[in-house]
Structure 1
Amino acid sequence: MNKLISRIKPEDRPIYTSLAFVAVILAIGTGYTLATQGTAPLLSPGYLLQQLQTGAFLGIVAAGMMVVILLGNIDLSVPWTLTAAAMMGAAVGGPMALPIAILIGVVVGLVNGLGVAYLRIPSMIFTLGVDSVLRGLMVAHTGGFAPQDQATPIMRFLAAERVLGIPAAIFVWAAVSVVIAVMLKRTAFGRSIYATGNREAAAYLSGIRTRLVIVGAFVTSGVCAAVAGVLLTGYSNKAYQGMGNEFLLPAIAAVVIGGTHILGGQGRYIGTLIGVILIVLLKSVLSIMQMPEAGRQVIYGAVIITMLLFYARGRKIVG
């Protein structure tokens, strides 16, 4: 066993660990449902497709979050970027709903990127401030009441309809995944993200326009949050205040669980993908076990802290 583990590359170990945890979660959930209900819904194709459909929202948010975390930054404005894009897109309606929602994601990403890259304000502080501003603007827009805006037909199709028996939301998630994976692995922008995340000063001296790289990463995160907001609106058939709040911590957890260093410079998208699946299945099993929401949040936080301690210890050893 030790020889087998030693053959696995260090950067791949979190991925294999996550896959092992996915298997454990499936086993625990299946054993619990067999013991209490006499069935094993977790293993049925229909149930797994349903989980992937709802997991698509988290997966798209996590894809954008990973790009920012690879730089050693974080985007805490995701909850209300998602909400603002969804609410304004649904409010406009018609053929302009999607472009308006995406535009809001781009604008928020630009503001975040400019604040972090050019004003040199720590991303945690700046994006948290932007999130608060967006929350205030949306409350002012609705007057503090629940908006009456309904999802457009295209939103409902992308989130809730099926194509060839597979939920369309999964295809959207797959398209986003391909774009992010290719961008990180095959483009100069992706290589610049890794270089900047490893050591920004060295990347700058090597000719990389690091500030533009940071802005581009935050724009990517903003667009991904907006796309998730569009899908969630279609799935819920309406936009509502605070609809993005439940995605922030799980998205960060999925990225970290998948092996992306929270300090930047290292990570593979396949790891984030597996991390999302792990979080979705974990949430499903905890729901089946009737675990309170507070308990779920404790588990997510504990996972992040554990992985942070693991990475910090690993960097000290390397150094």
Structure 2
Amino acid sequence: MQPGSATPSISRMPAILRRIDPAVATAFGCIVVLLLVGSLYSSSFLSPDYLLQQLQVGAFLAMVATGMMIVILLGQIDLSIPWLMAVGGMMSTAAAGWGPWGDVVAIPFGVLCGLGFGLINGVGVAYLRVPSMIFTLGINAVAQGLMILRTGGSAPQDMATPTMHELATGHLVGPIPNAVWIWVVVGLATVFLLTRTSFGRAVYGIGNQEPAAYLSGIPNQRIVLLAFGLSGALAAFGGVLLAGYSTKAYQGMGDAYLLPAIAAVVLGGTSILGGKGSYLGTTAGVILITLLQSILSVMQIAESGRQIIYGVVILAMLLLYGRSKRTNG
């Protein structure tokens, strides 16, 4: 490029504008549009109480999307999310009935069950070299079968513990729901993990060029194993919170979260091919999907229509941003 062409105009831009990801800016712009559209359907759409309620509901999706983002940054996918959420919810409520210690062990037990399934996913993808789409879909079916076997094919009778219910619906500090504070803590921990640790640098490195990452000394298999373990644990934790919100666990409780989680991640600018993305973008994607779900519910759009919309969104974002990595690489 010759001096004096496009470079000076770019250099004159404020540094903060040069750092903004276009996909993230677009997601936040869409949030503003949805808020305006929603206010046309309901006068209470912009009220603080309603917006806090949407953030509370969005926190459950945020848990799932956080784990999904880490896996997608590797260039992989986790399709076991739906029934790992059910595993977290159903096993935590089952542990609640284990005598006086039930309330104490319920949440850790549910999360550990999800972590176990996630680590199995990691072993299959990292060490057995099975494509993540195939292996995680198989684990999803295994988890479904085990949960149906545990309940005998009927709805479980286990109820959420008071602690689970308080985490999902309570207000410990001011008017902000506890679930939103949990989202903030998980989000800050994820940002630190991805930007300030060797694990985060390895995730981006593997997502950009896996062979080059391996040759540079990154333990690719171990990183993939840990990433899928985190995805499973976070999905199960999302199921725990959802069970607390509903006061009980139920079969298929995570079925409605797979496509929205993927859509939230890609809407936030995370490349579906891996190596590019930020948690700020994922946060914007979660809020955007939550508001979109609310508006579609107000408009009485059927669930099938919502799934079509999520699918179109994913395909559109893939076409817009998914190919840039390959052209640059």
Using structure 2 for the length normalisation, give the TM-score: 0.91
Given that 2:273 and 2:325 are in contact with CA atoms closer than 8 Å, whether structure 1 keeps it comes out as no
1:233 is matched with which residue: 225, 232, 243? 243
Amino acid in structure 2 at the alignment position of 1:260 = T
Residue 120 of structure 1 corresponds to: 129
By how many angstroms is 1:316 displaced? 5.6
Amino acid in structure 2 at the alignment position of 1:44 = S
Q: Distance in 2 between matches of 1:23 and 1:154?
A: 35
313 and 67 in structure 1: CA distance in 2 versus 1, 3 angstrom threshold: closer
Q: Distance in 2 between matches of 1:224 and 1:312?
A: 25
Amino acid in structure 2 at the alignment position of 1:189 = F
By how many angstroms is 1:312 displaced? 3.8
Residue 75 of structure 1 corresponds to: 78
296 and 212 in structure 1: CA distance in 2 versus 1, 3 angstrom threshold: same
By how many angstroms is 1:317 displaced? 4.8
SS of 2:314 mapped into structure 1: helix
Matches within 5 A, 1:276-295: 276-295=286-305
Residue 159 of structure 2 corresponds to: 150
Residue 258 of structure 1 corresponds to: 268
Q: Distance in 2 between matches of 1:259 and 1:195?
A: 17
By how many angstroms is 1:184 displaced? 0.3
Amino acid in structure 1 at the alignment position of 2:313 = V
Amino acid in structure 1 at the alignment position of 2:78 = D
Given that 2:62 and 2:283 are in contact with CA atoms closer than 8 Å, whether structure 1 keeps it comes out as yes
Given that 1:116 and 1:123 are in contact with CA atoms closer than 8 Å, whether structure 2 keeps it comes out as yes
1:172 is matched with which residue: 165, 182, 191? 182
Given that 2:269 and 2:321 are in contact with CA atoms closer than 8 Å, whether structure 1 keeps it comes out as no
Matches within 5 A, 1:290-309: 290-309=300-319
Residue 30 of structure 1 corresponds to: 39
Alignment partner of 1:190 is 2:200: yes
Q: Distance in 1 between matches of 2:326 and 2:59?
A: 36
By how many angstroms is 1:155 displaced? 0.3
Alignment partner of 1:205 is 2:215: yes
Given that 2:272 and 2:322 are in contact with CA atoms closer than 8 Å, whether structure 1 keeps it comes out as no
1:216 is matched with which residue: 210, 215, 226? 226
Q: Distance in 2 between matches of 1:239 and 1:311?
A: 37
Amino acid in structure 2 at the alignment position of 1:108 = F
| Runs of 4+ that moved beyond 6 A | none
306 and 10 in structure 1: CA distance in 2 versus 1, 3 angstrom threshold: farther
Q: Distance in 2 between matches of 1:272 and 1:253?
A: 9
By how many angstroms is 1:318 displaced? 3.5
Matches within 5 A, 1:242-253: 242-253=252-263
Given that 1:71 and 1:197 are in contact with CA atoms closer than 8 Å, whether structure 2 keeps it comes out as yes
By how many angstroms is 1:285 displaced? 0.9
Q: Distance in 2 between matches of 1:10 and 1:74?
A: 27
**Quick check: 309-318 or 72-81, which moved more?**
309-318
Structure 2 spans left out of the alignment, 5+ residues? 1-8, 97-101
By how many angstroms is 1:11 displaced? 6.5
Structure 1 spans left out of the alignment, 5+ residues? 34-39
Amino acid in structure 2 at the alignment position of 1:104 = C
Q: Distance in 2 between matches of 1:117 and 1:285?
A: 40
Q: Distance in 2 between matches of 1:92 and 1:313?
A: 46
316 and 80 in structure 1: CA distance in 2 versus 1, 3 angstrom threshold: closer
By how many angstroms is 1:153 displaced? 0.9
**Quick check: 143-152 or 10-19, which moved more?**
10-19
Amino acid in structure 2 at the alignment position of 1:234 = G
Report Cα offsets for 1:31-75 as digits up to 9, x if no partner.
233xxxxxx211100000000011100011100100000000000
159 and 207 in structure 1: CA distance in 2 versus 1, 3 angstrom threshold: same
1:13 is matched with which residue: 22, 47, 51? 22
Residue 99 of structure 2 corresponds to: none
SS of 1:43 mapped into structure 2: coil
- Aligned pair count reads 311
225 and 316 in structure 1: CA distance in 2 versus 1, 3 angstrom threshold: closer
